[in-house]
């Protein structure tokens, strides 16, 4: 049966009907990408979905506002962790997806799947946190739904939010708009959300030292557009971290990108936790950080705007888009060597969001 | 401790922080209503949500189209049953909520929560069914999200859909528009969906005799509005069935309603199954049926329009709105007696949608 084994190696994890869903299919890497492309992308094919933005762009009629529409389900465990919780995450995650499409987030839906036996106090705490996060982000939760599943058929609370925003600016944003010579910025230090979850999960003592970065980033993202900065693409750095966003945008643009390891901001406590637990901060999820691709000439002005908001006060330039290539992402290390950055294939941190 | 017991009886299932989520909180009756009002309604309070429509009505700017926005999560078990499945249900349920707001459904989001170990063949079958249902209803699935939870922390597939529609007509629809003397219509025979699920769940032999009514009802609902019928309110008859819809609308309008038992269409096979299993078809969920409140003068023309669509070919007038009251719903039985119809308090059929 040697030939069968070889075929398996040549085509990793094909979506054969006799295969099964793995945790990796939800982890933000290659296997999730394949599931989305091969199964959902093929079945639901239409021009809006095919654009593969974080949010869908909708046109009602000529002369009317264009809309952005996005959804995410939140299954994070534990529900509460240093700096945030599933409620705030469910609001900010969808708010940020809309903002990455250049849209001002306005309205959210909220769908709850509750496990029988959930404490009302826990639900109330989550709901109050959603309300506070919605107020902070300037959005309204306007419609909702509640389902209850039997004990052992869910896990306390799953929340889906979908969001509608109004597109603020005419220029398209996305990987195809990225150009050779563009600079790449990140809006702050990386890895806080993922490591805060790991600390809470492992019950490690220094939990309080790392707080999730979970926050709305719509204000600085939209401020760039309002100021006339020629933003080409924005991505929030959630599942799969900065590495996955860089690979996705490079593949979408057909251009290589080179980033300098020493320019990537990682807090010392996050770096220590990553080393202790064997994670690379490039791949760890963030929930209040985004990357921006823009012309080099606009970098200084963009950084000035970004740094005027507390949520993006730590913004930095980290790299530059290079020649057309096969979507290569190159990391130049502190000692001057370079290595390729790959999208993760399997799972790194399950149920991070 | 007698006083404590009395207090409990006087205030059934208060949302005390030391109480817990019960299956009944998702069942479409009083306890779900209380959870929504006391917890979500209080926390998320805003004028759009406070309107308590099946879908939220959104205004972008003067002179622009008004939007309807709705969401539902689907946790039905089993995933496949006679006449439909969770995929078609997830599309039609949200399409129908938008149509009940007088909106033409256009775009859906799809959020999947998959349990580790789910067979890819099962997922593909569900996704293909969603695509077919979307095509039939004339909507596009434009954005989505996938999460995976560990084996034993979910139940195969949960799907959330949110939908956006464009409001087609200026007149407001809702319980407050209902007037004394209005007629009440239903769009077909009741109880199929709930009984199809029960048959599939119990493994009863005559499963093939009852097929779910799951279907999109947007076409006949919007045709009424397009024809200038003065529709005052529409409700799809999902969790809690016709009884819950009648009670909700009567409470919202402050008017009583009287319906004639013999005019309520129930197929013989559904009636037999209900008797066998101890259900009242008035309370059983439907997924392709809706009720319409409208002036008596428009009834004949409305029935003609409704009956021209296969999905609402069985439309009938079932009752009439009476004098202001405390939201009373009266059922006149075949032998001429009357009884009050109450909203269910606890759970009837868990995980029906």
Residue B17: pLDDT band with limits 50, 70, 90: confident
**Residue A290 CB contacts under 8 Å (≥ 6 apart), including other chains:** A96, A99, A100, A186, A187, A217, A221, A234, A235, A236, A237
Task: Report the residue of chain B nearest A128, measured CA to CA.
Answer: B43
Q: What is the pLDDT of residue B228?
A: 96
Chain B nearest CA to A45, separation (Å): 8
For residue B207, pLDDT beyond 90:
no
Which pLDDT score, from 0 to 100, does residue B208 have? 57
Res B87 pLDDT > 50: yes
B residues 148-207 lying closer than 8 A (beta carbon) to A: 148-150, 152-155, 158, 160, 162, 164, 166
Nearest CA in chain B to A50: B142
Q: Residue A286: pLDDT above 70?
A: yes
Which residues of A, range 107-126, sit inside 8 Å of B by Cβ? Answer: 107, 109-121, 123-124
Spell out a b/e string for B125-136, using b for 16 or more CB atoms within 10 Å of the CB, else e.
bbbebbbebbee
Q: What is the pLDDT of residue B233?
A: 97
Q: Which candidate from A109, A120, A166 shows the least CB-CB separation from B20?
A: A120
- Tracing tokens 């969920």 back to the chain, one arrives at B285
The residue behind tokens 């009083």 is B30
What pLDDT sits at residue B11?
A: 42
B135 touching A (Cβ < 8 Å): no
Distance CA A100, CA B312 (A): 43
Provide the pLDDT confidence category of residue A7 given band limits of 50, 70 and 90: very low
> How far is Cα A323 from Cα B133, in angstroms, rounded to an integer?
44
Question: Hey, is the C-beta of A304 within 8 angstroms of any chain B C-beta?
Answer: no
- Selecting from A73, A119, A127 the residue whose C-beta is nearest the C-beta of B43 gives A127
Chain A residues with CB under 8 Å of B33 CB are none
Residues 6+ away with beta carbon under 8 Å from A154? A113, A114, A115, B153, B154, B155
The pLDDT mean for chain A works out to 91
Average pLDDT over residues A104-118: 97
Mean pLDDT of A247-270: 95
pLDDT band at B65 (very low <50, low <70, confident <90, very high): confident
- Can you give the pLDDT at residue B35? 92
Residue B39 binned pLDDT confidence (cut-offs 50, 70, 90) = very high
pTM for the model = 0.94
SS3 sequence of B209-244: HCCCCCCCCHHHHHHHHHCCCCCCEEEECCCCHHHH
Least confident of A204-208, B141-145, B170-174, B276-280: A204-208
Q: With 70 as the cut, is the pLDDT of residue B91 above it?
A: yes
Write down the pLDDT at residue B82: 93
Task: Provide the 8-state DSSP code for B39.
Answer: I
Average of pLDDT values for B86-96? 98
Beta-bridged to residue B236, according to DSSP, are: B290
| B146:A20 CB<8 A | no
Does B7 have pLDDT greater than 50? Answer: no
- State both tokens at A54: 């974080």
Partner-chain contact A147 B16, CB within 8 Å:
no
pLDDT for A131 beyond 90: yes
Place of tokens 């009752």: B319
pLDDT of residue B209: 79
3-state secondary structure of B279: coil
User: Residues B8, B18: contact at Cβ < 8 Å?
Assistant: no
**Least confident range of A104-113, A303-312, B174-183, B205-214:** B205-214
SS3 B289: coil
CA distance A176 to chain B (A): 19
Measure in Å the smallest separation between the Cα of A86 and chain B Cα atoms. 14
Q: Return the number of other C-beta atoms located less than 10 Å from residue B240's C-beta.
A: 26
**pLDDT confidence of residue A12:** 46
Are B293 and B178 a contacting pair, CB within 8 Å? Answer: yes
Categorise residue B174: left if φ over 0, alpha if ψ from -120 to 50, beta otherwise: left
pLDDT at A186: 98
Measure the CA–CA gap between A125 and B169, rounded to whole angstroms.
39
Question: For chain B, what is the largest distance between any 2 Cα atoms, rounded to a whole number of angstroms?
Answer: 63
For strands B255-260 and B329-332, give the pairing.
Answer: parallel
How far is Cα A128 from Cα B232, in angstroms, rounded to an integer?
35
Q: For chain B, positions 38-97, list CB contacts with chain A under 8 A.
A: 39-40, 43-44, 46, 48-49, 55-56, 58, 60-61, 64-65, 67, 69-75
What does pLDDT average to over chain B?
91
Cα–Cα nearest to B214, from B82, B74, B48 = B82
Structure tokens at B161: 């859909």
Contact between A40 and B146 using a beta-carbon 8 Å cutoff: yes
> Which range has the worst mean pLDDT, A113-117, A192-196, B333-337?
B333-337
pLDDT at A252 over 70: yes
The pLDDT, as a whole number, for residue A25 is 93
Per-residue pLDDT for B333 more than 50? yes
Q: Specify the pLDDT at position B206.
A: 58
Q: Check CB contact under 8 Å for A109 and B56.
A: yes
Q: Which of B128, B140, B148 sits opposite A21 (nearest CB)?
A: B148
Instruction: Check if B147 contacts A (Cβ < 8 Å).
Output: yes
Residue-by-residue DSSP string for B37-88: IIIIIHHS--HHHHT--SSEEEE-STTSPEEEEEEEEE--SSSEETTEEHHH
Q: Which residues of A touch B116 (CB under 8 A)?
A: 20-23
């Amino acid at each position: 049966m040697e030939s069968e084994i070889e075929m398996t190696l040549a085509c990793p994890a094909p979506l054969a009907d006799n295969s099964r869903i793995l945790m990796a299919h939800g982890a933000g890497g290659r296997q999730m990408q394949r599931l989305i492309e091969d199964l959902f992308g093929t079945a639901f094919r239409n021009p809006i979905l095919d654009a593969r933005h974080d949010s869908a762009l909708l046109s009602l009629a000529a002369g009317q506002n264009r809309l952005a529409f996005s959804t995410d389900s939140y299954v994070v465990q534990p529900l509460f962790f240093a700096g945030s919780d599933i409620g705030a995450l469910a609001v900010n995650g969808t708010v940020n997806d809309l903002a990455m499409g250049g849209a001002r987030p306005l309205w959210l839906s909220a769908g709850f799947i509750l496990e029988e036996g959930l404490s009302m106090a826990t639900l109330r705490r989550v709901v109050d946190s959603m309300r506070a996060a919605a107020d902070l982000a300037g959005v309204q939760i306007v419609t909702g739904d509640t389902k209850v599943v039997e004990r052992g058929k869910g896990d306390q609370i799953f929340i889906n939010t979908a969001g509608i925003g109004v597109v603020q600016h005419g220029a398209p944003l996305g990987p195809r708009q990225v150009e050779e010579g563009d600079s790449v910025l990140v809006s702050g230090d990386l890895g806080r959300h993922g490591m805060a979850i790991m600390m809470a999960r492992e019950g490690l003592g220094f939990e309080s030292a790392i707080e999730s970065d979970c926050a709305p980033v719509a204000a600085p993202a939209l401020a760039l557009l309002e100021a006339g900065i020629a933003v080409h693409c924005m991505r929030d750095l959630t599942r799969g971290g900065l590495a996955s966003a860089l690979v996705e945008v490079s593949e979408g643009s057909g251009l290589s990108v080179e980033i300098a390891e020493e320019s990537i901001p990682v807090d010392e406590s996050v770096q220590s936790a990553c080393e202790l637990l064997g994670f690379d901060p490039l791949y760890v999820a963030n929930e209040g950080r985004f990357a921006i691709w823009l012309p080099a000439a606009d970098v200084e002005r963009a950084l000035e705007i970004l740094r005027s908001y507390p949520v993006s006060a730590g913004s930095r330039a980290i790299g530059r888009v290079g020649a057309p290539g096969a979507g290569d992402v190159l990391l130049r290390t502190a000692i001057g060597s370079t290595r390729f950055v790959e999208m993760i294939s399997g799972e790194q941190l399950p149920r991070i969001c």
